[in-house]
Amino acid sequence: MIRIFHRKGEEILLSTSKEDLAVLEKEKVLWIDLIEPSGEEKRAAEAFNNALIQSRAQAEEIESSSRFHEAGGLIFANTNFMSPTGSEMSMDPVSFILAPYTLTTLRELPIRSFDLLSNKIQARPELYKSGFSIFVEIMDKRVDLDADLVELISQETSQFSKRINQQDDINDEFLLDINQLQENAMVIRENVVDKQRILGNILKSDLFPDSLDKRFSIILQDITSLISHINFTFERLEYLQDTVVGIINLEQNRIMKVFTLISLLLMPATLVASFYGMNVSLPFESWPYTWICILAVMILIVAAVVFFFKKKKLM
């Protein structure tokens, strides 16, 4: 699918025909949005930009040269747009090609922020003078969504903290939930840092218009704040993880202590019972009340052991 936003007079119109790229003036085309495009649509966009569009595999590479570079008067940038899927974060790669007048985007999946922006572009055409204006708007919305994800993780962290304070279901599964939240926090931080590096490079580019410097700088400041927030949240999760591990260890130690005390309490009585259970001649074995005396001795020994443990504050 291809969507072409182009200016006509004071309006911005939407076209979904790749043939329009061959007749539209470059100065009039603001945004070419490719959504899982066909081969013909992709080649039409490449011909319009006079540049090859990276494949999905190239867009997902982590090398700096693959994430951002300039060539032939164009800026090429790749980043990932995150979205929560259950307990994990899914990563949707998006490629950007920035020309003096036109922004070209390539993505495999629908992204809600892009759809909302397309409606705003047609409703407020005076706000968008070039593809760079649209790119700044996309990144501004994306950083806001990333902030929402960070806030969501922060809220879940607070809920985990309350569960720990109430000692509610503190078990191995709870520890795995904290570990998954830590993984999500790391993914978000890596993604936000990646955006910070790409936006910093674009801001330093000679192709970037000076009129957008102030707004771009504000976005970078927001990203810096996000990184600080997610770092604090991650440190808090590490503290909660250590606390849960400590609680689980204390519970296990308490259980082992109970078993150890039971074993120690029964050990003297078991020794007496084993001694009189031997198949040899023993004192008082012919007396009819011997078993009562043996039982009494066993009870006295257990009572003495309990008294000793309590005096030493071992139980």
Which residue range(s) make up the domain with 39? 2-249
Same domain, 169 and 75: yes
Whether residues 188 and 292 share a domain: the answer is no
* Residue 181: half-sphere exposure toward Cβ, Cα within 13 Å: 30
The lowest-confidence range among 34-43, 149-158, 284-293 is: 284-293
Residues 305 and 183 in one domain: no
Distance CA 180, CA 160 (A): 12
The partner residues of 74 in beta bridges, in order of sequence, read 71
Q: How many domains does the chain have?
A: 2
* Same domain, yes or no: 138 and 269: no
Three-class DSSP category at 1? coil
**Whether the predicted pLDDT of 7 surpasses 60:** yes
Evaluate the CA torsion angle 241, 246, 247, 251 in order and state its sign: positive
Measured CA to CA, the distance from residue 229 to residue 13 in angstroms comes to 40
Contact at 8 Å (CB) between 150 and 226? yes
Interval 68-96: pLDDT, tens: 888 888 888 888 888 777 777 778 888 89
Phi/psi for 133 (5° steps) reads -60, -40
C-alpha dihedral over 285, 290, 296, 298, to 10 degrees? Answer: 30
Q: Residue 138 above 80 pLDDT?
A: yes
